[in-house]
Structure 1
């Protein structure tokens, strides 16, 4: 499937593990690469445990004007390679203003058709999908893009945002469709939003990163549909693209929303190290990898290519290898990344527990700190169980609603919170109240549950939430 690879090392790396994928797996995250079928030399499977098609799943390659699929052969090759080599796959991408191909100018209904076809085409063989890509404007304005598909947006009440029920928002509507497909198919695929220049809380000069703030508001408002956030991490000398000291703090604030955070397209321009691709660039890579490792819900890093010569920005020499065509040499940056991964996580200041290493059939998850309560033996109606992931001052609860011996068409779950506990966010459910006894009810796509089957919703809160006993009522 690719030529034999020769890897020459510029310098030794004293490390417990000798490959990026092994060191990353031990630290509880994936370390991936973007590639095309022509670059599937053996180093891909040796060094990486996640694969992103660089161009072969973009709409310009696989979408028809009616939202159907075409030309999926290269994508299939990449997915098959990943399965054979025990790698996760990230689908990239479904809704994007650029490289839209035949979808350019399509309405939301056509976009929804394409979303459904792509999600169902590969199913659980894809662990993550970038549902919406690069939705925010350049130059740190904090605004949505104005070109298609954002021309489909409508601010119904004129309040300046697109978060209200009557608004039309291509981001929200695309995620709603994707979530419906995932739910209907029983898929484990996680749904992500992906953008660049959103990495730090600030940009050069300490100016507030308005683009990152806008992305944060999107995720906060649409948390019930969004599972993961991708920071592209194309670091260069653009004032909005530098590596800031508050990178970790920004990763952490997104993680605090309950989503996974990934660095999805990492490369580091040699301009940020005064054209030094030795120790200078290595130190920059070390900083970025450590920022991810220090946040437990930062569950993956992907470099955007193998070698400098094969990069879309080859003159910037921003990747981990030199050479090409299967003959690669490890740079100092490679050894720095390997060393940092081997040091493992330091989450002493992070309020969550490290996630378990990902597997190809399912995406990473956080191990509950409190096991689910034993559900009653359901007869008719429904039952509910809750599992908690807690830290000092806060928690995330996942609630499983199980139908009894007959199907249900709707459900309500009441949960009495301890004194001082407050719900700050919820997803996959409508909510009444924030403290005391809080009522959760189904939304449109998860009310119908077949006999013996289940659906799940979740909520995040402040305070302590031990001993929760959910009470389920079916309709």
Structure 2
């Protein structure tokens, strides 16, 4: 059962304070190392007045390594499945909150806020819905919302009131609600949700509305109409189930135009899928994509938070729906932090070891410079980046960078270059596509490695062809 209302309100108030930044966490962020624990994504987000959360589902709550991360890394939880209609009202008028209550209780025990998902959706409905006469369905929908949102009153900060009501071309999805109630069902759902829980923020949530286009235009016009008509709506959820290398260029602009209507925006179901298996180049692109999404949210004040649709690749929905694709999240199957994690970490203001050293040699005027930067560092591993600059007056036609690994360091994968190792000596030559560097221009390559003990920054030497 749900926690007592008084306790729920206290937990909710404390967690909400974290989201608006009143908890003094993450203000002085230590560089990640084995000696000092780095701040979590939730703490970093809270310091910026936002949340960074994860969806979860009931079967995973029995996995101790999973729940150790879920309960400590994030300051927000979304109930991934068990607040949906098929679970909460499996038979008409008979409500069951057992499974969803367990997730809400987990969040409360870890001082995490909860997003409710979802009250009205065309999918994951019990079979009996389809046999409800058209003249009764509006009353059934109102009753469902009153019961579910009422049950979680004071325990849920956001509700995804209506989910995925539009097609890609911006027309209405012909769901059972659209067919039997008509265009007005969305407004009626929001009014019922407001009556059931006046303090929860009410969201419309959908996929493929991250960039500006026909579908997001339809949602924009719906929200604009609701605001003009006094229909209660507080936010828009951009699901952000994205594809590697395809973050919409208009993402920030789109977030801002919704915010300018007077509503909040949340990234509600973020994952960025790739063709599997993973490799270093795909990891690097995914990291850049996660950084871009995070930066777009941070750039707009009313973008209140980001939720990944579960956090570990081992629990992602992607492989079961998109065969041959996956690796979409910020932790791998073994709960190791991926480069995408560290990209989000840095975008949220986390600091990593960034000491740089350079050595210049070569036969092209001033030669080339190799600048080393530790992008991310964690117990047992690190991510590095080297920028090669042409300091000469004519174009380079090739370059080589060398450095010596400290005892215990290895390079396990590298992108944008060709690597060879000889003991502790690392040599990276240009790839076939980035050997030419114009005067005063740069190219960059990156790598991931492992380390034991200290992880010192090396001196990298650059030579020209």
**Does the aligned pair in 2 maintain the 1:127–1:190 contact within 8 Å?**
yes
Quote the RMSD (CA, aligned, Å): 2.4
The equivalent of 1:124 in structure 2 is 154
The equivalent of 1:136 in structure 2 is 166
Pair 13,332 (structure 1): closer, same or farther in 2 beyond 3 Å: farther
**Does the aligned pair in 1 maintain the 2:153–2:196 contact within 8 Å?**
no
1:77 to 102, 109, 125: 102
**Does the aligned pair in 1 maintain the 2:272–2:329 contact within 8 Å?**
yes
1:308 to 313, 316, 339: 313
Distance 1:274 1:242 in 2: 17
Aligned residues: 300
Distance 1:30 1:235 in 2: 20
Q: Identify the structure with the greater helix proportion.
A: 2
Answering whether residue 60 of structure 2 is matched by residue 39 of structure 1, we say yes
Pair 313,195 (structure 1): closer, same or farther in 2 beyond 3 Å: same
Pair 121,18 (structure 1): closer, same or farther in 2 beyond 3 Å: same
**Does the aligned pair in 1 maintain the 2:32–2:38 contact within 8 Å?**
no
**Does the aligned pair in 2 maintain the 1:30–1:299 contact within 8 Å?**
yes
Q: Report the secondary structure of 2:105's partner residue.
A: helix
The equivalent of 1:50 in structure 2 is 76
Q: What do the CA deviations read for 1:252-304 (whole angstroms, capped 9, x no partner)?
A: 00011111100000000125999644211100100000000000000010000
Pair 116,68 (structure 1): closer, same or farther in 2 beyond 3 Å: farther
Q: What do the CA deviations read for 1:188-228 (whole angstroms, capped 9, x no partner)?
A: 21111100000011xxxxxxx10000000111111331111
Distance 1:279 1:180 in 2: 47
The equivalent of 1:220 in structure 2 is 224
Answering whether residue 51 of structure 2 is matched by residue 30 of structure 1, we say yes
The equivalent of 1:236 in structure 2 is 243
Distance 1:60 1:249 in 2: 36
The equivalent of 1:101 in structure 2 is 126
Q: What do the CA deviations read for 1:84-113 (whole angstroms, capped 9, x no partner)?
A: 111011111111111011463341100100
Distance 1:76 1:285 in 2: 31
The equivalent of 2:304 in structure 1 is 299
The equivalent of 1:151 in structure 2 is 179
Distance 2:259 2:276 in 1: 27
1:281 to 286, 296, 299: 286
1:268 to 266, 269, 272: 272
Q: Report the secondary structure of 1:242's partner residue.
A: coil
**Does the aligned pair in 1 maintain the 2:39–2:350 contact within 8 Å?**
no
Pair 290,16 (structure 1): closer, same or farther in 2 beyond 3 Å: farther
The equivalent of 1:318 in structure 2 is 328
**Does the aligned pair in 2 maintain the 1:97–1:104 contact within 8 Å?**
no
**Does the aligned pair in 2 maintain the 1:277–1:332 contact within 8 Å?**
no
Q: What do the CA deviations read for 1:98-143 (whole angstroms, capped 9, x no partner)?
A: 1011463341100100000001111111111111000011xx3110
**Does the aligned pair in 2 maintain the 1:193–1:230 contact within 8 Å?**
yes
Structure 2 unmatched ranges of 5 or more? 1-30, 62-66, 320-324, 352-465
The structure with the largest alpha-carbon Rg is 2
Answering whether residue 254 of structure 2 is matched by residue 257 of structure 1, we say no
Deviates most, 25-34 or 97-106: 97-106
Pair 254,67 (structure 1): closer, same or farther in 2 beyond 3 Å: farther
Structure 1 unmatched ranges of 5 or more? 1-11, 155-161, 163-168, 202-208, 345-475
Q: Report the secondary structure of 2:266's partner residue.
A: strand
Distance 1:273 1:212 in 2: 32
Distance 1:44 1:173 in 2: 35
Q: Report the secondary structure of 2:297's partner residue.
A: helix
Give every structure 1 segment of 4 or more consecutive aligned residues whose post-TM-superposition deviation is greater than 3 Å.
Answer: 12-17, 271-277
Work out which structure has the larger RCO, using CA pairs closer than 8 Å and 6 or more positions apart in sequence.
1
**Does the aligned pair in 2 maintain the 1:152–1:170 contact within 8 Å?**
no
For normalisation by structure 2, the TM-score amounts to 0.61
Answering whether residue 180 of structure 2 is matched by residue 180 of structure 1, we say no
Answering whether residue 36 of structure 2 is matched by residue 19 of structure 1, we say no
Q: Report the secondary structure of 2:165's partner residue.
A: coil
Distance 2:345 2:112 in 1: 18
Distance 1:233 1:131 in 2: 18
The equivalent of 1:422 in structure 2 is none
